[in-house]
Amino acid sequence: MKALCWQGKEQVGVETVSDPHIINPHDAVVRITSTAICGSDLHLFDGYIPSMEQGDILGHEFMGEVVEIGSAVRNLAVGDRVVVPFPIACGHCYFCEHELWSLCDNTNPNAWMAEKLFGYSPAGIFGYSHMLGGYAGGQAQYARVPFADIGPIKVPERLSDEQVLFLSDIFPTGYMAAENCDIKPGDTVAVWGCGPVGQFAIKSAFLLGAGRVIAIDRFPERLRLARESARAETINYEEVDDVPGQLALMTGGRGPDACIDAVGMEAHGTSLLARMDAAKQKLMLETGRPNVLREAIRACRKGGVLSVAGVYGGFLDTIPFGAAFNKGLRIATGQCHVQRYLRPLLDRVQRNEIDPSFIITHRLSLDEAPRAYEIFRDKKENCVKVVLDPWAAPKAA
Amino acid sequence: MAEGIAAPGSPPQSQVSRSSQDQQRFGIAAGAAAAGGLLLAGLWLHAWPRVLLLSAAGCLGFRAFRAQQRGEPLRLWAQRGTNIESEDAISILRTPQELYQSWNDTELLRQIIPYCRGVERSGQRMRFTIERPVTGAVEMESEITQELENRLLAWEAVPGAEIQSAGEVRFEPDPSGRGSIVRLRLATGPSGWLRGFGLSAKQQAHTELRRFKQLMEAGEIATIQGQPHGQRSAMARLERLVPEPLGSDIMPAEYARPRRRGPVGEPLERERAIRPAREAI
Ligand SMILES: NC(=O)c1ccc[n+]([C@@H]2O[C@H](COP(=O)([O-])OP(=O)(O)OC[C@H]3O[C@@H](n4cnc5c(N)ncnc54)[C@H](O)[C@@H]3O)[C@@H](O)[C@H]2O)c1
Ligand SMILES: [Zn+2]
Ligand SMILES: [Zn+2]
């Protein structure tokens, strides 16, 4: 089959690899019909997540048709059309039973690596480094799905791939980011980052009763999308001196009730601290550029909530933890517990409350994935979200 | 017993140093210098070689520092007769009874012990075949020394066995009232490490417990062995010649255990409904 492989920092390529097959009794093999590139993949592309190896198959947002099932899978049949959540969960450990699916105890074969860094290991994830399982990902024509009786959700034929694909990650991720804010009717929520995760966080904040959402980014097309598709107010951070100051003005000197970081470890910035982060990251002295985290902590109102959906991998410097502590902030973080949201969010799609396909700007073939990574990373061609068809013939150039 | 292995829990034999002070200092200084060299080489290289060299530098540096602090000679590895001993614990959502019974299942033991190819039991004697990639197959014979139903099992290598090891596993009800805590203690002599397991007692105990938990809770041992991948680097291909010591180097393909269904203690057959996430949304 064809699969997109990580070949080194800033280098990915489509290779012909062997087809996946059933290895464990709870496996299934899925023929992938649609797969997407995520902001999280950019952290791999840019080389900021450790324990990647040349030849690793990327991708964790995918759906398709079940073509083979293991001997212990009872609730799926060959031919079922499924969306696959990105965290792999066993369904039977303490964490799965408490619906903390992305923290499953039993699905990371390389748990010892994560334990060295984090103390305890989270769940395995498709295509997301050996430290998080080393599982082959879904930017490919087929994928092996372990614990297939727990994660994948069957989707009705009348919904298109594009309407349900994002249940695999970014829709639930944005939703969880908003849910973590504990929104009371009329609350003001600030969202850093108007990428796909940010866009879903904005929509979800309104779905959960927010009165105002203020979205922050620098790309006009992304800010426009936030205004037009979700009626958010926006701040272009390149046009203001200081984002927390601007937020204070907009909220009458109080600060937003909750702040969502939908940017993560590769935040862009021009302040002195941000430049120092960039230099330290190059020297491998720091593993993230946390200037959004810093701004959000400073901007948040007293007793508010900081909800972090953006991914961080290692160590961060000069986090104003004193501000977080003295303002009594509550902090919620983590990879999304996608399995928890699949059914309810699918229902919302079916009731036409939301059509997640609004963020798609590029529909390409798998062969075009290397170029897609670049335009998505550099936000060229007004790119917001790329969906790949693994079976389409490459477009003649 | 050939190397005087003691059961876990007994104090390690003390090693009295006889080397002169000067020799000692020289050894430590040389060790520290070597660590510095490894550090520089590590910083210069990239990727895995870098990780390897930096870890080696760290280990050596730490040993040299500790030796200096304690006024002992620098030793690169444990001496003959030193017990390498470790204790680890894991929580598993199953009753102590279920866990005790499963631990007595030789097929399950084969699956959770790294590189194990076979386990036989006759009476109180157990025979393990361990087949490591480089050193080849070795047989280990041990005898069960203590058995408390649903609570404890202890074993020790038979006298004169090639590989000295001893161990003990305890099953305790979890104080939360759900599931159990399993404690595993392992001790091996140096030859156990070199010839038998290829893992330290600590890694060995940790790996066995994790696999045991995976089988008992999830019904299988998570693995990525055998999945597709693209072209690997030359370095990675070299590394792959030796199967990962801590990953799942065995494939429990046909052997699925019944998973735990529903709260601990309830019948296994009880239908487990995949929790339909919160209705509240
Ligand atoms: N927690 C989870 O489960 C989960 C799941 C998916 C993605 N993520 C993470 O969410 C983050 C966003 O993902 P995405 O797909 O939307 O990526 P994306 O790259 O499309 O979006 C990031 C956006 O942040 C903006 N940005 C950069 N610096 C900023 C700054 N200083 N202030 C405000 N905005 C800034 C960029 O302009 C961009 O629009 C990533 O870190 C990704 O890894 C987390
Ligand atoms: Zn993602
Ligand atoms: Zn689990």
Locate the domains of chain B by residue range: 20-70, 84-226
Chain B's closest residue to A113, CA to CA, is B246
Residue contact A144–B227, C-beta within 8 A: yes
Question: Has residue B250 got a pLDDT over 50?
Answer: no
User: Are A52 and A151 within one domain?
Assistant: yes
Domain count, chain A: 2
Range of the domain at A20: 2-169+336-389
User: Are A89 and A189 within one domain?
Assistant: no
End-to-end CA distance of chain B: give it in Å, rounded: 65
User: Are A192 and A261 within one domain?
Assistant: yes
Tokens matching residue A307: 């909800």
Res B211: pLDDT: 95
User: Are A368 and A324 within one domain?
Assistant: no
Residue A397: inside a domain: no
Domain stops at, among A288, A306, A332: A332
Q: How many beta-carbon contacts under 8 Å exist across A and B?
A: 147
A173 CB under 6 A from ligand 1? Answer: yes
- Tell me which H or E stretch contains A343: helix A338-350
Residue A66: inside a domain: yes
User: Are A281 and A261 within one domain?
Assistant: yes
- Collect all residues from B whose CB is shorter than 8 A from any CB in A: 91, 93, 179, 203, 206-207, 210, 213-214, 217-233, 236, 246-248, 251-254, 256, 259-260, 272, 274-279, 281
pLDDT per position as a tens digit, B54-99: 888 888 888 788 777 777 667 665 444 456 678 999 999 999 999 9
A117 CA to centre of ligand 2 in angstroms: 21
B255 falls in which pLDDT band (50, 70, 90)?
A: very low
User: Are A262 and A290 within one domain?
Assistant: yes
Collect all residues of chain B within an 8 Å Cβ-Cβ radius of residue A147.
218
DSSP state at residue B195: I
Residue A52: inside a domain: yes
CA atoms within 13 A of residue A60's CA, in its CB half-sphere: 28
pLDDT per position as a tens digit, A260-312: 999 999 999 888 888 888 888 777 777 788 999 999 999 999 999 999 999 99
CATH code of the domain in which A195 resides: 3.40.50.720
Cα dist from A307 to A224, A300, A334, A356, B222, whole Å: 23, 11, 9, 22, 31
Residue A243: inside a domain: yes
Tokens matching residue A267: 């935040």
Residue A95: inside a domain: yes
pLDDT per position as a tens digit, A80-131: 999 999 999 999 999 999 999 999 999 999 999 899 889 999 999 999 999 9
Residue A273: inside a domain: yes
Average pLDDT, chain A: 95
DSSP state at residue B244: P
Tokens matching residue A346: 């699918």
User: Are A343 and A274 within one domain?
Assistant: no
User: Are A254 and A348 within one domain?
Assistant: no
CATH topology of domain B84-226: Alpha-D-Glucose-1,6-Bisphosphate; Chain A, domain 4 (3.30.530)
Q: What is the pTM of this model?
A: 0.85
Residue A396: inside a domain: no
CA–CA separation, A65 vs B33, rounded Å? Answer: 59
B52, B227, B232, B255: best to mutate for the A interface, most A CBs within 10 A = B227
Q: Which ranges in B167-200 belong to alpha helices (H)?
A: 190-191
Taking Cα atoms as reference points, which of A312, B54, A51 lies closest to residue B62?
A: B54
Residue located nearest, by CA, to atom 43 of ligand 1: A40
Lowest mean pLDDT of A158-172, A232-246, B31-45, B219-233, name the range. Answer: B31-45
Q: What is the ipTM of this complex?
A: 0.93
User: Are A368 and A354 within one domain?
Assistant: yes
Domain stops at, among A313, A332, A351: A332
User: Are A234 and A300 within one domain?
Assistant: yes
Domain stops at, among A299, A332, A365: A332
Residue B186 vs residue A335, higher pLDDT: A335
**CB-nearest partner of A25 from B213, B248, B256:** B256
Residue located nearest, by CA, to atom 15 of ligand 1: A39
User: Are A121 and A209 within one domain?
Assistant: no
Residues 6+ apart with CB under 8 A from A36: A61, A62, A165, A166, A168, A169, A170, A385, A386, A387, A388
Residue A394: inside a domain: no
A97 CA to centre of ligand 3 in angstroms: 7
DSSP for A238-294, please give it: TSSS-HHHHHHHHTTTS--SEEEE-S-TB----SHHHHHHHHHHHTTS-S-BTHHHH
Angle at which helices B96-103 and B201-213 cross, to 10°: 120
